[in-house]
Structure 1
Amino acid sequence: MREREQIRRFIDVSRNVAAPFSREAGEGGGLGVFRYALIALTLLGAALRLYAAQGDLWLDEIWTLNLLERAHSFGDVFIGLHHDNNHVANSAWLYFIGPNAPVPLMRLAAVALGTLAIPAAAAASRRYCDAAGLLAAFVFAISYFFVHYGSEARGYAGMTLAVLLAYGLVDAILAEGASRRRLLALAAAIGFGTFSHLTMIEASGALALSALLRFRHCGLGRVVAVGAVAGLASLPALFCFAYGALAPDFQVGAMVPLSPAIFAEGVAGMARATLGFPRGVDDFALLGAAGLLALGLLAVLPAERRIFPAIAVFGLPLLHIAAGLPSQQYPRFHSTAAIGLALLAAEGCAALWRAGARRRRAAAILLGAFAIGGAVQLADFYRLGRGHYADAVRIMAERKEARYAVDFARGETKAVVAYHARKLGVVATAVSLAEWCASPPAFLLVVDLPDSRADHAERRSAGPQDCRAAFLRRGYFPVSGLSGFAWTLYERETNPEAEITRSAR
């Protein structure tokens, strides 16, 4: 009898654990398991983001602080900072806490919004089935792409949360009706997302288009309501941007013209960071593999669950090509595609799991690969961070006058050095090539992109031919992932001829 009772209890527990992976959305069984699993995944995602929020501020975060020096009032955050790098919601947070706040506090808003994206993803995908909800929470919790941008003082975390909320609300409106509460919530999500980052506009367009493609099954009135709300809710942020863009002092960051290699670098980097594809794979080969995976996952989903991910993953990158948009090498410029790809991975794997034993193996393999790949990328990121700029500036501060030269991204690097020098209470002066001979630099900063094979040789020479100087390496400061620059710091030799003689011996 005892053995039978133990077997019965084991079966009951197993059913409860498996319930989210076998029941349709809205069924009552396994809700406790779903709730506790979601809480655990949300806490895991929060911990990953809090840990990632440590370290030095990098260029784009510092850039926002520099822009905020122009703000004389809170209203200037919206219409007074005439620069495309002004992510308004994030700028408002930084203005509120002040430029001298601790770095983790500066990134706390992103951590909070990035963490909230986990249950938002679960709620949106759970409308398909419970399993999809938990898997969406899993993917958004551990994906390097969302951990990284969910811990950086910029606007991408808020935009991600807004897209996921809007995705779930649009599905609810189309399936169950356009109530006033749902429409107001959709307007709030889209409005906040657009103030977080203007790429929310393309996400809103993708949601409106996905609603239009479903109109035969939900009625034209609901589709019109979604489109109207998406358009109207975007107007306040668009107005603020247009107001600044029409100003004579409006500035735009550096732009790189579109090319096949640039495009492949950005989209492949997005796919790699989102689903943990391995590094070292050719960008075009990775694009092909990610595209085939996405097509395979789309094929197993019901028609209504395919539309938004397909538009986000395939349609929007093709739109970028058609529009000839610059600077497509940055994975963050494909954030909507990353959200669509993560949703597709979660809901596609849930569909595979529910399709039978053979396909369950495929789902388990894919989820394991996503987890391992993401863990590897997170480990590299936690080890190297977004850069170690303060450490380099501390070495430069050993000299009474820290005069330095830069070999690449000169203006951007000067801004980073100036910020960290100011925080450390030291003076660091940049030397241009024209000033080099009359007042040679004591240090040379060699700047490289993240994860690049930097040439940080022990000794190198630099400067104009008439007064070329020899430098010895003082430190190498690598960086991994989606943000930051690797620095190699060199100090000028005081007697290079003697050093050359010693080396020859």
Structure 2
Amino acid sequence: MTGTPEPLHRRFWMTVAALAALGLGLRIAAAQGALWLDEAWSAWSAHELGAPLAVFAHFHHDNNHHLNTLWLQLVGVSAPPPLQRGLSILCGTLAIPLAAAIAGRRGRHAGIVAALLFAVAPLLVIYGSEARGYAPMLLALLVAVLLTARWLDDPDRPVPAIPLTLAVLFGLLGQLTFAFGAAALCLWVVIALLQRRSRRDAIAAIARYALPMAVAGLSTLAVIFVPAQRNGGMRFGSYTPFDWGDWVHGVAMMLTGSTGGLIGIAAVILLLSLGLTLRGQPRMAGIEGYLRLALAGVLLVPLFQLGNAGISRYYLAAATALLLLAAIAAGVALRRPGWPRGLTLGLLAVPTVTSLIADRELIAVQRGDPGDAITAMMRRAPTGARVAIEMSRASAVLAVAASQKRYRLRIVGGACPAERFLFLDKTGGPLPMQPERCGARYATIAVGKTSSLTGMDWKLYERIP
């Protein structure tokens, strides 16, 4: 129906495997520091819940990414950080060959470029190495996209109902923003079938496709929200009403985070323009139709006035669509000898280099690595310590980091008398050099700095005698 995809041979998959190994190395390297804010609260909550059933029956919070919470229960609160992030590392790495298979439907060049971009994109390195549910969600979405694209090649075949059901289940239990990609996927199926078939045949095929998607989606949402409603509703750690400035910021961070910065996104836009010039606008029935709809999904946030619009990770489905569109455009140009091929290679080098530079920074800062605060206290008080905090959100961060290092740490509020150690954190703005608390002055002994995409800045102080 949508054209026969080009066969992908052994050399193609060997190249993709090498790029997946690069992506795996970057994700492991970025996963070495102790868990930061949301990760730490996920790990601590999983530890306190105890039983897996409690993840569904009692943990009704937006920080509960169910598959990730179950994984954190399995490995334990004291497990090494790379193991706690292991599910995301695995899913983030598997997304690389999946992206290659999706873009590879437009040729081997497109598939290899997709694998490269997915391997190095800073946004995907971050969420492919973080103990959260975004990497499992993206993996499930890519599986659903590939299954759907293959079915649309011949919709007279049976719908792959069981794999699609599992993808929807896995995706929503990974993170609920799977719904953005799923909505684009369903709309694409409707458009593609109506373009290529009679209305009657199209409606019949749409119904066959929609049934397993709807059953899986509604069942999973019921498992999540029905127990929550019976226990007072969902709770949110932080919620900011929709704001246009936040939305622009979030989308901008998604775009630059996908390509390594402003120069990278400029090169990708030029690459998309080159592909459009050489090939023209593909029909919506092709895989490009889904990708354009997924990219346009960022408009759903202002359309429905959704809160927390400034958080770039909510636009991950759009980010992957952008990278796949860029890969397909590059594949078109790389098949043309002469200046199109040379220009494309030059343009591809830009986001690759800028992404690797950004990845190096992410690996260096390790999301602020709160484990360094524990190490600093261990040097000064080897048998254990008490530390004061002023933001309650820091309690799980320090508790999990201390548990990982088997260090006895008592975390207390900021009330007087002054404790020996003081931990301050902030998401924006500078932290004081020598704060005063309860008549005592403190000196900085450890500092954590992070990137603009994830983590938190903090300082650990010791009371000056």
Deviation of 1:309 after TM superposition, in Å, equals 1.9
Indicate yes or no: 2:209 matched with 1:226.
Answer: yes
Q: Structure 1: how far apart are the matches of 2:337 and 2:346? A: 14
Indicate yes or no: 2:284 matched with 1:313.
Answer: no
Q: 1:427 aligned to 371, 392, 409, which one?
A: 409
Moved more, 131-140 or 467-476: 467-476
Q: Structure 2: how far apart are the matches of 1:77 and 1:212? A: 35
Q: Structure 2: how far apart are the matches of 1:259 and 1:296? A: 34
Matched residue of 1:209: which SS?
A: helix
| Aligned sequence identity (%) | 29
Summarize deviations over 1:69-117 as a string: whole Å, max 9, x none. Answer: 3434322223332212111111222222333322222211211111111
Q: Structure 1: how far apart are the matches of 2:142 and 2:444? A: 47
Q: Structure 1: how far apart are the matches of 2:272 and 2:207? A: 29
Q: 2:261 aligned to 265, 272, 277, which one?
A: 277
Retained in 2: the 8 A contact 1:404–1:430? yes
Summarize deviations over 1:237-264 as a string: whole Å, max 9, x none. Answer: 2012212431227421111222222112
Q: Structure 1: how far apart are the matches of 2:152 and 2:223? A: 31
Moved more, 67-76 or 338-347: 67-76
Indicate yes or no: 2:448 matched with 1:470.
Answer: no
Summarize deviations over 1:173-193 as a string: whole Å, max 9, x none. Answer: 112225346232222212211
Runs of 4+ in 1 over 6 A off after TM superposition: 288-293
Q: Which residue of 1 aligns with 2:430?
A: 455
Q: Which residue of 1 aligns with 2:319?
A: 338
Indicate yes or no: 2:451 matched with 1:480.
Answer: yes
Q: Which residue of 2 aligns with 1:411?
A: 392
Summarize deviations over 1:280-315 as a string: whole Å, max 9, x none. Answer: x9xxxx7x997787677566452224322222222x
Retained in 1: the 8 A contact 2:271–2:347? no
Deviation of 1:228 after TM superposition, in Å, equals 2.6
Cα separation, partners in 2 of 1:293 and 1:32, compared to 1, 3 Å: closer
> Which amino acid is 1:308 matched to?
Y
Q: 1:171 aligned to 146, 149, 157, which one?
A: 149
Gaps of 5+ in 2: none
Moved more, 77-86 or 145-154: 77-86
Retained in 1: the 8 A contact 2:268–2:326? no
Q: Which residue of 2 aligns with 1:141?
A: 119
Moved more, 348-357 or 112-121: 348-357
Retained in 2: the 8 A contact 1:144–1:274? yes
Matched residue of 2:393: which SS?
A: helix
Matched residue of 1:385: which SS?
A: helix
Cα separation, partners in 2 of 1:226 and 1:412, compared to 1, 3 Å: same
> Which amino acid is 1:350 matched to?
G
Q: Structure 2: how far apart are the matches of 1:363 and 1:229? A: 41
Deviation of 1:198 after TM superposition, in Å, equals 1.0
Summarize deviations over 1:191-220 as a string: whole Å, max 9, x none. Answer: 211111111112111100111111234431
Equivalenced residues, count: 449
> Which amino acid is 1:43 matched to?
A
Retained in 2: the 8 A contact 1:431–1:440? no
Indicate yes or no: 2:372 matched with 1:391.
Answer: yes
Retained in 2: the 8 A contact 1:83–1:252? yes
RMSD, matched Cα: 2.7
Q: Which residue of 1 aligns with 2:282?
A: 302
Question: What TM-score do the two structures reach when normalised by structure 1?
Answer: 0.81
1:327-366 superposed matches below 5 A? 327-355=308-336, 357-366=338-347
Summarize deviations over 1:335-380 as a string: whole Å, max 9, x none. Answer: 1111111111111211232355333233222211110111011000
> Which amino acid is 1:455 matched to?
P
Q: Structure 2: how far apart are the matches of 1:123 and 1:269? A: 27
Deviation of 1:119 after TM superposition, in Å, equals 1.2
Retained in 1: the 8 A contact 2:141–2:178? yes
Indicate yes or no: 2:28 matched with 1:50.
Answer: yes
Q: Structure 1: how far apart are the matches of 2:120 and 2:135? A: 14
Q: Structure 1: how far apart are the matches of 2:77 and 2:423? A: 26
Retained in 2: the 8 A contact 1:421–1:428? no
Q: Which residue of 2 aligns with 1:20?
A: none
Q: Structure 1: how far apart are the matches of 2:77 and 2:403? A: 12
Question: What TM-score do the two structures reach when normalised by structure 2?
Answer: 0.88
Summarize deviations over 1:364-410 as a string: whole Å, max 9, x none. Answer: 2221111011101100011111122122133345357534243xxx1
Matched residue of 1:446: which SS?
A: strand
Larger Rg: 1
Q: Which residue of 1 aligns with 2:246?
A: 262
